Structure 1
């Protein structure tokens, strides 16, 4: 059975998350239902795997998933047909590519990139409702950058992970946190760009919620270092809501979509 990788974009608002659930809509279940209509050999109960199991309300512009289909497909035709069967759900297949049989969307990944959008202005967000987290007070980007610097590198992130996190270890390496400012009418949008080999459950939302407190002046930047060192969930700032969070990219040893994007081709090899 040929294996295909998919680059997926979705609005997480209507879904209970990526992972299929018996009684609630999910991104995974929506794509699986479309695949079953498209390819009769995609058996009932067959599963697709994703690089990241995003929570309810979290969006994606660069999620990657893979599935085994019953017959070969031209990648362009597969993309077009899947998008037809997905309509009108807020899910789009941006690209499809045939990949080696040992490619795994989750276990072959070497890095994940997230974006969090935080809007600071008093007037309600009309056009971006459900797509950003809005606060009504101004924020100090310099203070947030100073606080964020304490989190870059390899640390025990117990403070910044959910108590329901199932990861074996709280040790993670955060490669990058970049905070950029973007003027909007009567306010500013702050974009938090985070990159790591992998993330703990609620790690990004815990970090951004804590840095917002720094930007608002409620926390001094050094308190972020103290919270990290505490290794105690109670030392974390508020966990921000999901609607500003986007999975924007997944990195592999080679680009599964190289033929489309012009990147380096993916190399076969056992997932690690």
Structure 2
């Protein structure tokens, strides 16, 4: 039997029309996952082995990615060499051209490489656009790309102070979705980055002025289900004066998802997975990498 080649791919997508990144099951709704479409594209390249994509980072319906990653094995006939990384990227994108999905990079990796378990960190950015009374007043290309808040007033200083309380290693059980399908996942996470900063503003034709955009950035090795959207919702509630810093600390210390206030979870549409980091020494087969255990391979497309 000809040897299989394992590839790591980085890819981006607009999540609005997909059920999420992972594949859908036969009994699930009609909307398909991003994984379904990428696997279809891989099958069009006629592998001898069954196609199975291992996604590094789960995103829900409506959530976007500027850089997610996954690995898969590909076996060609014995008379054909493995695809080069560049040819693989071009071929997959050719078969994905009807979708809002794009492969940005590929690496040949060792046979025991795992895209999920060997990721060093994941970074999410949440975009907020305050000050427009109705979503219809957003530029069309922004309507599914940010959280439109009706009022301008956000106490960014209070939000930054609240974000600082989330930094470090904590039990984040209170920020886990109540209906999580992974209830036994370790709730103790180390949040390395939690900050709010200005993003690129856009012009509203209705008001003939720029609308500010705020970006909340979170980085950790891994997150609980919907943790980022729940942390974002809590920080926005602090910025609006609906949640005090003391109350936020109480929610954290409760270690109970039912302690999280109802109706403040941030919607999916403003959330982007922006990068997944790997150690370069884990990708030694790829000619696109160099040695150095402390360096990282990152795809960041902002």
What is the TM-score with the length of structure 2 in the denominator? 0.82
Corresponding position of 2:57: 52
Following superposition of structure 1 onto structure 2, how do residues 202-221 of structure 1 map, counting pairs within 5 Å? Answer: 202-221=226-245
- Partner Cα distance (1:33, 1:265) in 2: 35
The verdict on how the C-alpha distance between 1:264 and 1:247 changes in structure 2, with shifts beyond 3 A counting, is farther
Gaps of 5+ in 2: 77-81, 204-209, 295-302
Query: Residue by residue, what CA displacement relative to the aligned partner does 1:90-137 show, whole Å, maximum 9, x if unpaired?
Result: 000001110111111101112111111111121521230101111111
- Partner Cα distance (1:49, 1:158) in 2: 26
For residue 220 of structure 1, report the CA deviation from its aligned partner: 2.0
Corresponding position of 2:277: 251
The answer on whether the counterparts of 2:6 and 2:111 sit within 8 Å (CA) in structure 1 is yes
The verdict on how the C-alpha distance between 1:128 and 1:2 changes in structure 2, with shifts beyond 3 A counting, is same
Query: Residue by residue, what CA displacement relative to the aligned partner does 1:137-164 show, whole Å, maximum 9, x if unpaired?
Result: 1211111001111111111111101123
Given the alignment, which residue of 42, 56, 61 partners 1:35? 42
The answer on whether the counterparts of 2:198 and 2:215 sit within 8 Å (CA) in structure 1 is yes
SS state of the match for residue 17, structure 2? coil
The verdict on how the C-alpha distance between 1:54 and 1:264 changes in structure 2, with shifts beyond 3 A counting, is farther
- Partner Cα distance (1:152, 1:241) in 2: 22
Given the alignment, which residue of 160, 164, 168 partners 1:149? 164
For residue 53 of structure 1, report the CA deviation from its aligned partner: 1.4
- Partner Cα distance (2:244, 2:13) in 1: 36
Query: Residue by residue, what CA displacement relative to the aligned partner does 1:151-187 show, whole Å, maximum 9, x if unpaired?
Result: 1111111110112331422111111101111344343
How many residues are matched?
264
Rg larger for:
2
Corresponding position of 2:268: 242
Corresponding position of 1:113: 123
Given the alignment, which residue of 15, 18, 29 partners 1:15? 18
Choose 205-214 or 158-167, whichever is displaced more. Answer: 158-167
Query: Residue by residue, what CA displacement relative to the aligned partner does 1:7-26 show, whole Å, maximum 9, x if unpaired?
Result: 10001111001111124311
CA RMSD, aligned part only?
A: 2.0
Gaps of 5+ in 1: 268-272
For residue 222 of structure 1, report the CA deviation from its aligned partner: 2.8
What is the TM-score with the length of structure 1 in the denominator? 0.91
Given the alignment, which residue of 61, 69, 72 partners 2:74? 69
SS state of the match for residue 250, structure 2? helix
Following superposition of structure 1 onto structure 2, how do residues 174-253 of structure 1 map, counting pairs within 5 Å? Answer: 174-182=191-199, 183-185=201-203, 186-237=210-261, 238-253=264-279
